[in-house]
Amino acid sequence: MAMYVLLMTLTPEGRAEAAADPARVAAAEHRVNMPDVDLMGLYGVLGPYDFVGIVEAEDNERVARFSLALGVEAGVHVVTMPAIPIGRLEGSVELPSVSVELDVPGA
Segment 47-106, tens digit of pLDDT: 999 999 999 999 999 999 999 999 999 999 999 999 998 888 776 666 677 777 777 777
Question: In total, how many domains does the chain have?
Answer: 1
Burial class (CB in 10 A: 0-12, 13-18, 19+), 17: middle
- Domain-embedded: residue 102: no
Task: List the CATH number of the domain containing 35.
Answer: 3.30.70.920
- Domain-embedded: residue 53: yes
Question: Range of 74's domain?
Answer: 2-84
**Quick one: pLDDT at residue 55?**
96
Beta bridge partners of 4: 55, 82
**Quick one: pLDDT at residue 93?**
63
- Domain-embedded: residue 19: yes
d(CA 75, CA 20): 13
Query: Is there a contact between 93 and 25 (Cβ–Cβ < 8 Å)?
Result: no
